[in-house]
A = this chain, B = another copy of it.
């Protein structure tokens, strides 16, 4: 295709993408040094409508370093309708750290597995991926480096890292092959560009990008989890069994509550001092008492340390991005506590039961959630997942009590009654959720809440235990 025609067609395809707002596109470039990635991105960028394009090439900020590794990429995912161009993106860290032996071979392979899961999740959510490996042979690279060094105009572009990467040319080449083999997929293909034919490059990349825009690959039906699906091996937890025994009297409750809150205050302060981030995810049956339990937690915390995130319907900005984005954006910085009042589990609970998400989407979510939680843990987050349950009869009593009290009536909606009618569907979804998302460090605490006092103490106990298990280690 002639350059002018290609350029016009590429722009046309981009405007169509922007107009439809159904998918976004990520073009990622990585590979050897001095392969003119920057120039290529610039030239391509001139072909595109830059109101719908963004380029990402910078290292992590302090806010990024204080959160799980993938946060820095999640926050840069383009909205539907936009094209994001990443230089090195999530490949550079792994590639160069491994080449310099700062990363073990096992850790490198783990990262590749994470990349596979990340890219599959994006692709399944409407992010179209195209990845370019920029190749150059060693002697051409040396000649380029020498020429650049002598060039009075462009010499500033050169730095020590480029020479270092030249010395590691063979290692980077081999690692690049391993990386491409491990992360190539129909939904996230690799293309190799050889530096020796630079005249052709822009044309080739433009054509590849246009093809991708015009005929994006099918989204993957399965997202490969880094954490295997453990379903059914974990015991299914029967909610009917969760009724608590004898009620707890007011006085021993007050005493035990004060003690548990005192413990929590000390634990939370120690977590802040050691800059350990904490995530509490509350799920539960309507009227089980999530709000009251969260209050008993926050009563023990310094208000400067935590934030409660009430998860309701997504905003329009959130709807323009993969579903998990709205949880990533709320992750706490190191030393801080995020309390989720309902959480990412809505995907496999309300969205499943109310058919807000197609079956393929919520089925896929189990693996996505396991991976999300694993990444929190890898970063050092203390994760507490609490499920508050009540019996069917107790729920009815509480609904009726709410309906009777004017100042509590706002807490009871039509939706609550509707959900109640679907009790069995929810139970099935809850059981499957437990079975598929139980993992070491991400265990569920099931709290029987028919007796509110006992429930609150058990919530506190559960959070305290989780924190103490972590704080027991000296660092």
Contact = CB atoms under 8 A, between A and B. Distances in A.
Interface string A50-93: 11111111100111000000000000000000000101000000
Contact of A54 (B38, B307, B316): B307
B303 A42 contact: yes
A341 B410 CA distance: 44
A298 B50 contact: yes
Nearest to A19: B410
A101 interface: no
B407 A304 contact: no
A95 to B, nearest CB: 19
A302 B38 contact: yes
Given A46-B295, A49-B291, A55-B304, 8 more contacts: A15-B410, A19-B410, A38-B302, A46-B298, A51-B291, A53-B308, A85-B303, A316-B317
A61 B58 contact: no
B295 A50 contact: yes
Number of copies of this protein chain within its complex: 2
A204 interface: no
A41 interface: yes
Given A298-B45, A317-B317, A407-B12, A304 B58 contact: yes
A296 B41 CA distance: 16
A310 interface: yes
A85 B298 CA distance: 15
7 contacts: A19-B410, A38-B302, A38-B303, A41-B303, A46-B295, A51-B310, A58-B304
A46 B315 contact: no
A34 B117 CA distance: 50
A308 B50 contact: yes
A59 to B, nearest CB: 11
A303 to B, nearest CB: 4
A203 to B, nearest CB: 18
- Enumerate the 8 nearest inter-chain pairs by beta-carbon distance, A residue then B residue, closest first: A57-B304, A51-B310, A55-B303, A45-B303, A62-B62, A50-B308, A42-B303, A41-B303
